[in-house]
Structure 1
Amino acid sequence: YILWEVWKFISPALYTNEKKNAKVFVLFSSLLFFLGVLFGYFVVIPMSVNFVATFTVSPMVLNQFTLDSYIGMVKTSVLASGLFFELPIIIYFLTKLGLVTPSFLRKYRKYAVVLVLIIAAIVTPPDVVSQTIVAIPMLLIYEASIFISVFVSKKEKE
Structure 2
Amino acid sequence: MSRTSTVRFERRRGRSTVLAILAAVMLIATAASGALSASAAATVTWASWAPLGGGANAYTTAISFVDRPALSATVASDSRAGSVGVMTGASVWLSEGTPVGAKYGSSRNNPYLNLRPKADTATSPSTTTYSFDRPTPQHPAGPSRSATSTPTRSA
Q: Of Structure 1 and Structure 2, which has the larger fraction of its residues in helix?
A: 1
TM range (shorter): under 0.3
Under a length normalisation based on structure 2, what TM-score does the superposition of the two structures give? 0.26
Higher alpha-carbon Rg:
1
Q: Which has the higher contact order (CA 8 A, sep 6+)?
A: 2
Under a length normalisation based on structure 1, what TM-score does the superposition of the two structures give? 0.26
